[in-house]
Amino acid sequence: GGRVVVSDEMNEAATNSDVDQAGEDAVAVALAEIEAARAEMPEDVDGAVARVLAQVDVLIDEGEPGEAFDALIEAGEWQGGSGNPTAALETFARARDLAIDGGAPQPVAHALDRMAACHWELGQLARTEHLLREALAIREAGSDGPALARARYRLGWRIAVDCSSTSRFDEALNLLGRARDGAEEHGLTLMVAECDEKASWVLGARGDVA
């Protein structure tokens, strides 16, 4: 029997295949661990969050920033829902930074919105408004109509609870009106109703009761 000579190219291809397979296995394990944490979350939020966050670096290292972003957003929602807006803010900020690094503006806007919600819970309303304005600017540059309507509604709602001047009355009504138009265009009937409700707050505060 003759000796089989394996070329350098074949050796390199085999090595790369092993590396790719190892990466795929690591991602599969990380995603399975996250799925297990979802089942655990109702009983042990802190434990579930810790399990998810432990897998984020694996997903990033293996070239799955989208999966990592989704995991961070989900973990942040759990933290916020359990009454820990400070921890949620840190998690959402990490998601924002990951989206910025990946050049993904629409996920950045989503993370900014969630950060704004945390600042709202912490009573930091000026910071809330600043982040919502950042998120809206990103949405206005995109093509997602429902997301843009939502961003306008969110900022309009924020201004509606603090209409301290005529210009803020006008801005709140403008945002809510445009959000309503967008929601109606895309069949988002609940958002249409929410925009009407918040607009009624502004009109009432302005003295336009009728």
Position 18 scores a pLDDT of 52
**What would the DSSP string read from start to end of 136-188?**
HHHHHTS--HHHHHHHHHHHHHHHHTT--SHHHHHHHHHHHHHHHHHHHHTT-
Q: Is 144 left (phi over 0), alpha (psi -120 to 50) or beta?
A: beta
Whether 9 shows a pLDDT value over 70: the answer reads no
How remote is the C-alpha of 53 from its chain's centroid? 16
Position 133 scores a pLDDT of 98
Q: Which residue has the higher pLDDT, 152 or 23?
A: 152
The C-alpha atoms of residue 21 and residue 195 are separated, in whole angstroms, by 50
Average pLDDT over residues 104-111: 96
The C-alpha atoms of residue 38 and residue 36 are separated, in whole angstroms, by 5
**Prediction pTM value:** 0.84
